[in-house]
Structure formats: C-alpha cells, structure tokens
Amino acid sequence: MKSIKSTLLLLVLLTAPFAALRLSAQVTESKPDTIYPILEKAQSDLAILNRLKISGYIQTQFQKADTAGIESFAGGNFGAGIDNRFAVRRGRVKFTYDYAFSQFVLQMDVTEKGVGIKDAYVSFTDPWLNCFAVTAGVMDRPFGYEISYSSSSRESPERSRMFQTIFPGERDLGAKLTFNPPKTSRFNFLKVDAGLYNGIGPNAVDFDGFKDFIGHAMINKSSKNEKLKVGVGLSYYNGGWKQGTKYLYNMSDIALGTGNVMAFAVDSTTSKVGTKLRREYFGADAQVSFDFPFGLTTLRGEYIQGKQPGVATSSTSPAAQPGDAYLRNFNGGYFYWIQNIMQSKFQTVVKYDFYDPNTNVAGDNIGVKLSGKNKATNAADIKYSTLGLGLVYKWNSQVRITAYYDMVTNETTAALPNASTLKDLAKDRKDNVITLRIQYKF
C-alpha cells in the first residue's frame, strides 16, 4: 500500500508543471470571454460597497442613585429596592446607502432589553437645484435642536426631561420636506424642515388617524476663520389626539370654602367624544461656540411652551388611546455650558434643564383636595429642575469616557405628603444619579 501511494505522489509531482502550463494557456485563450466579465462584476460589487456606509456606537454604563427604586429620567426608573445598576444604554448599528440623489437609512438599537428599530427611512433630493429633499419613514422629529443631536455626540448622558416627556422616543413615523441649499450656494446657512407625523412615537400603531404638523427653521453662520459659529432656530408643533371619553378636564379657578384654587374642572359634553384634543408647542433654540486658545467654549439653549393633552397621572404624550383627557399649559427648557480644557482631551459640562408640566398651579396649591366631579392636581403637575455636572475624557477618536452627576430638584407641596420617601412631595426627594459611561464609536 505504501509503495502505491509513493508511486502516485511521484506521478503527480512529475505531471504538475505540464498541467499548470495547460491551465495557463486555457485562461489566456478565454481571457476575452471570462476574465473581463469577472473584473466588471468585481468593479460593480465594489461600487455598491462604496455606496454603503456602516457606522454605530455602544454605550455601557454604571449608575448609582441616592435612593433605591427612584423614578428617573437618567436612563429610566430604577427597579424596586435597587440603587445601582450596569446597563448597555445604547447599542446602535446604522446602515446608510447613498445613490443618485437618494438615501436609505436603517438603524437598530441592541441592548440587554432587546432589539429595536430607531431609524427606517428613505430620502430623495432633487437633482436640479439640489435644495429640496423628501424623507419618509421612522425618523427624528424635526423640532428644536436636542432631538436631532446624536446621543453619540451629546455631552450629557440623556436628553432633558422636557423632551423625554413631550417627545418620548424622539422619533416618529411620517414624512417631511427639507429645504437646504448646497454648500456652493450663498443661502446654505438656511435649513427648513416641515412634515406630517402620526404623533404617537416610532413604535406604536396609529390609534386616531390624526396627523401632526412639525416645522423647524434654522440659520447657521460662522466667521471667515471658523473661530466663531452661531445657530438660531424656531420650531412649531400643531397636532393632537382623539378624545376617547366624554370627560375632559381643563384648568380652572375653583371656589373652595377657604378660598379659590386652580384645579381641573370637568366638561362632560358627550359631543366631544372623538374630537381632536389640541396639542400645540412653540420653541426657540440657539447655539454659539468660540474657539479660543484656552479651549473651545460652547453655549447651547432651548425653550418650549405650549398646550399638552395628557391623563390624570401623567403629561407624557401617549402611544395608545388614553382615557379621560387632562389639558395642561406647560413650559420647559435647558442650557448647556461646554468647555474644552485647552488642547487637552478633557471637556467639562454644565447643564441645567427644567420642566413645568402645569404652569397654572404651583407650590402648596398642588394637590389641594376637592369635592364633586372636579379633580385635584397631583404629582403629575409638579415642576422639576436638574443641574448636571460632567467631565468627559476623549481617549481617542473612537473612545469617550464620561462621569456625570444629575442633581434633581422637585417642586414641593404640603398637600401631597406621603410616608414613602419615593412618593413624598412635601419635600425634595433624594433622587440624584451618578453615571459613569464608556462609549465606543465607529
């Protein structure tokens, strides 16, 4: 058996050069028919790959709260009895395909809580003026500045409480028209977005058929040497959702035995069932940055006020048909001061934000007991403000490390005491949060 294997091996070695010469001749003869098509296909595949861009980032973090089980806007509520946690706050993978004045975008979010869709839209730009674009699908709502400012670039771990309340999830399903002249145009400083959306967020099925209008106009200018950059914007939201019951509660001055108090007065007109509840916001935002020798300084702010239909226990915009409707006037805003430390990799962050869900009532007037069909205000009408202090270290172009401390202050009222420290609003709750985060971006 061994001699047979040796003989076969010798034959293979002796005939290999002749086989190679024959194969080479066949390839040469068939070059016009096979090699060129193969090269053309490779070039076509390479062109397709060049149009596709894959990007993403992951944010892993550890958090410590003042009190176990607190409600929080710093990445969600803490579980019962838990005051510290590890989490993958965001795990994003984004696919962008560009071709001939068109774009396809799909972005997924992968965390320990599951897999979800963040963006799924198509966009078309006019090939004549290159000024107008139509976008349709699941996308950021074009309102204000902070919504569309990527979480991978934002200096604070989370968006402000106000945006998380009136625009939960940041995104919505709809279509918009964008006007933004190309860089070669002298009007490139102007960008205008206007669109129609379901108004219930990205992951819900439309329950009323009403469509909400969102518009944002933005002007960006910079000095010739790019040392100074300024941006200002105005936003408008007009929409609402269907009233599901005949009970509608509006803020009114209600007489009590000890005097008057602002509370919810009932309107139980049956004809209001199915009508549209008014949801209207006005917003203004501004950004300015100075590139000085001691480091880049950035100031950023935004203010919003308007009317928000909600329910008795929450002013959050609903994703499903609510019950009885409660109308509130609100306002809120935020302010950033971001300072790069010289030319180092360190950056300091100071952020203040506030959200008042009901501007018609304050302090000890919140929660005053009523009799009859009218309803008292409650914890959903409490104003909150948050002072955030952060330090950011940019390890390299991909890795960023953040230490951030959220100091939360709530409005207090003697009318809403509670034996539980988690629910007691007669004093400021202990609900501050420390966040330590590592982000990798590619």
Please count the structural domains in the chain.
Answer: 1
Among 434, 317, 429, which Cα is nearest to 71's? 429
Query: pTM score, two decimals?
Result: 0.88
Q: Are the C-beta atoms of 119 and 138 separated by less than 8 Å?
A: yes
Q: What distance separates the 2 farthest-apart alpha carbons in the chain?
A: 116
Looking at per-residue pLDDT, the higher value among 399 and 371 belongs to 399
pLDDT digits (tens, 9 = 90+) for 280-304: 999 999 999 999 888 999 999 999 9
User: Could you write out the three-class secondary structure of the chain?
Assistant: CHHHHHHHHHHHHHHHHHHHHHHHHHHHHCHHHHHHHHHHHHHHHHHHHHHEEEEEEEEEEEEEECCCCCCCCCCCCCCCCCCEEEEEEEEEEEEEEEECCEEEEEEEEEECCEEEEEEEEEEEECCCCCCEEEEEEEEECCCCCCCCCCCCCCCCCCCCHHHHHHCCCCEEEEEEEEECCCCCCCCCCEEEEEEEECCCCCCCCCCCCCCEEEEEEEEEEECCCCCEEEEEEEEEEEEEEECCCCCEEEEEEEEECCEEEEEEEEECCHHHCCCEEEEEEEEEEEEEEEEECCEEEEEEEEEEEEEEEEECCECCCCCCCCCCEEEEEEEEEEEEEEEECCCCCEEEEEEEEEEECCCCCCHHHCCCCCCCCCECCCHHHCCEEEEEEEEEEECCCCEEEEEEEEEEEECCCCCCCCCCCCCCCCCCCCCCEEEEEEEEEC
Q: Is residue 295 part of a domain?
A: yes
Domain boundaries, position 238: 55-90+158-167+182-441
Q: Is residue 348 part of a domain?
A: yes
Instruction: Average the pLDDT over 41-53 and give the result.
Output: 81
Q: Is residue 5 part of a domain?
A: no
The pLDDT confidence band at residue 271, using thresholds 50, 70 and 90, is confident
* C-alpha span between 358 and 429 (Å, rounded): 19
Residue 425 reports pLDDT greater than 50: yes
Instruction: Average the pLDDT over 424-437 and give the result.
Output: 97
Instruction: Average the pLDDT over 3-8 and give the result.
Output: 46
Q: Is residue 399 part of a domain?
A: yes
Q: Is residue 335 part of a domain?
A: yes
Q: Are the C-beta atoms of 216 and 193 separated by less than 8 Å?
A: yes
Looking at per-residue pLDDT, the higher value among 405 and 259 belongs to 405
pLDDT digits (tens, 9 = 90+) for 323-360: 999 999 999 999 999 999 999 999 999 999 999 999 99
Q: Is residue 301 part of a domain?
A: yes
Q: Is residue 107 part of a domain?
A: no
Output the average pLDDT for the chain: 91
Instruction: Average the pLDDT over 252-275 and give the result.
Output: 88
Q: Is residue 13 part of a domain?
A: no
Instruction: Average the pLDDT over 139-159 and give the result.
Output: 97
pLDDT digits (tens, 9 = 90+) for 195-229: 999 999 888 889 999 999 999 999 999 998 989 99
Instruction: Average the pLDDT over 51-76 and give the result.
Output: 97
What does the block give as tokens for 168?
A: 């939960």
CATH number at residue 306: 2.40.160
* C-alpha span between 317 and 127 (Å, rounded): 38
pLDDT digits (tens, 9 = 90+) for 379-418: 999 999 999 999 999 999 999 999 999 999 999 999 999 9
* C-alpha span between 409 and 355 (Å, rounded): 11
CA 9 to chain centre: 67
pLDDT of residue 306: 98
The pLDDT confidence band at residue 49, using thresholds 50, 70 and 90, is confident
